[in-house]
Every structure is written in C-alpha cells, then in structure tokens.
Structure 1
Amino acid sequence: MPTLFTDPRSGGVKKSSGVNVLPIVAETWAQVRDDSNTSVDWLIASFDGSSKTDITVIASGSGGLESCASMLPESNACYGGVKLKSGRFVTFYYTPDACPVMHRGRASMYKNGVLNVLEGSDREIEMRPGLTEADL
C-alpha cells in the first residue's frame, strides 16, 4: 500500500501524515548543514499563509540559537533547526501561549512529519524566546 511508504515528492514525509512540507524547507536545512555556508545556521518553518497542510520556511539566518530564538513567531506554532557553536544540530517544535488551540493541535499532529525532513539532528530541544546555548 503506497501510504505506508515514504513519498519521495514530499521531502521524506509519509503520505498518511497529511502534511505537505514544501521543498524549500529541505533546501534551507541543507544550507544550515553545509559547513562551507556561514550565511545560514538556523531556520524556522510554519504553515504557508492560510494553508492548513503546507509547511514553508518563514525565517532563516545566522547568529545561532540566540538569533533563532529572537525570531520565533508570537502567535503561530513553528518547527525549526539550528546549528550550534559546537557543530551539532538540534531541531525544535514551538507553540506560543497565544497560539489558537486548533492550530496547536494540528501543528502537534504534523510535528514528526516536519521534523523528519530535518535529517541529521542530534536531538530535539524545548525552544522558547530568549533561549541561549548556555541554557542547553
């Protein structure tokens, strides 16, 4: 049955998860993981506009965990990944207090599908605004 296998068109997400991770997410994550690229060391992905299933990159940049934590959205659930100063990679799922309950539930349901696209992570962290590498 095709729904039990990975769908290569969805960036490695199982079809049955219901989430559509746009290719830009995997492309940006590849930039984060590229040691020769110093312009991008983190990314934040969330729902694409008013879509309930499409996930796209909403922010990316350099400056490490502190910079990423300062760019977290105030009212939308998001997913992301960061390259730490130690060279390790971490991923996260973040839902702010202002996030609507239905949006929070949908984002939670899609979490594994989205984080599967962010391959090569050492661990998942509990992200929050103001988080620093010293807090880990």
Structure 2
Amino acid sequence: MSNVPIIAGTLQTDPRSGGQTKKSGVNPLPDISETWEKIRDNNNNEVDWLIAGYIGGSKTDIGVIKKGTGGLEAAAKELPDGEPIFGGCRLNKKGRFVKFYYCSENTSGMKKGRAAMHKNGVLNVMEGCDGEVKILPDMTEDDIEKIY
C-alpha cells in the first residue's frame, strides 16, 4: 500500500470525513426562490424571468440582480459582461420553464471557476424546470427551438 495521502477534490466525498460530501459554500438568497415562485404562478403578470448574481462583492451570496417581463428575449438583452450569472424564465410560446447559466468571454478565470462550483447550488433553487438551456446575448425563443 502506498503512503500517498488521499485527498478528495472539490465537491467529492472525502473518505476521512466519514462519507460527508463537501459543500460548495454557495448561499442562494431567499429572493431567488420567491421570484421563481412568481414566475411559475400562472396568475402572475409582473415577472417572467430573473437573473441572479453575486451580491455586494460577496463570493458566496447570490441574489436576484434583475427581473422583468418579456421572456427569454428580455433576459438575454440584460446579460452582464464580465460577471457570471444564473437565471431562469418562462418560455412564452410554449409555457415551459427553463434555467440558465452564463459567463461572458470577459469574465475572469477566478470568477468563472467559482461560479461553476456554485452553479448547481443556485439552479437547484429554481424547482419545476423543464431543463437548462444555453443563453447568449440577443437570443430569442426561436433560437432555443432550433437547438432543442
């Protein structure tokens, strides 16, 4: 047997911990799930998309930074440059719900890496989605239909 220590990678189970999974440390704020509930409410006309991101320079706290109406097209026009974001929307043509993750090319490697670790922790808050889509600036629902 080798004397090499066993070290678990990020988000893996470390055998020395008794089988406990490491956490990513992300803190999705309650406003994400509250806004998502409104988006999923068929009687709501106030909001049909949300974009969440890091709040106040935090490296772990993620909350809603933008929301509105206009579906995927409106959300795609609001994608920030240089910051990773997480989001979701109602597709107006089909009434389906999708979630998304986006990092522009101008996002630093450190931010991309941290956001990639936090992605599932944030997107899992948005329950009842039909799936995850790749979103790009100026994307439309017709673009989604061509891809998926």
Separation in 1 of the partners of 2:84 and 2:123? 13
SS of the aligned residue for 1:17 comes to coil
1:15 to partner: Cα distance: 8.0
2:38 is matched with 31
1:74: Cα distance to partner? 1.0
- The alpha-carbon deviation at position 109 of structure 1 amounts to 0.5
- Correspondence for 2:11: none
- Does residue 95 (structure 1) correspond to residue 103 (structure 2)? The answer is yes
Unpaired stretches in structure 2, ≥5 consecutive residues: 1-16
- The alignment status of 1:105 with 2:86, answered yes or no, reads no
Distance 2:31 2:112 in 1: 23
Task: Give the equivalent residue in structure 1 for 2:67.
Answer: 60
Sort the Cα spacing of 1:15 and 1:41 in 2 relative to 1 into closer, same or farther, 3 A.
farther
d(CA) in 1 for partners of 2:73, 2:139: 6
Residue 76 of structure 2: aligned partner: 69
Q: What CA distance in whole angstroms lies between the structure 1 residues aligned with 2:129 and 2:60?
A: 23
Give me the TM-score of the superposition, normalised by structure 1: 0.88
Quote the RMSD (CA, aligned, Å).
1.7
Aligned residue pairs total: 126
After superposing on structure 2, the runs of 4+ consecutive aligned residues of structure 1 that deviate more than 6 Å are: none
Unaligned runs of 5+ in 1: 5-13
Structure with greater Cα Rg: 2
1:117 counterpart (103, 107, 125): 125
Aligned position for 2:135: 127
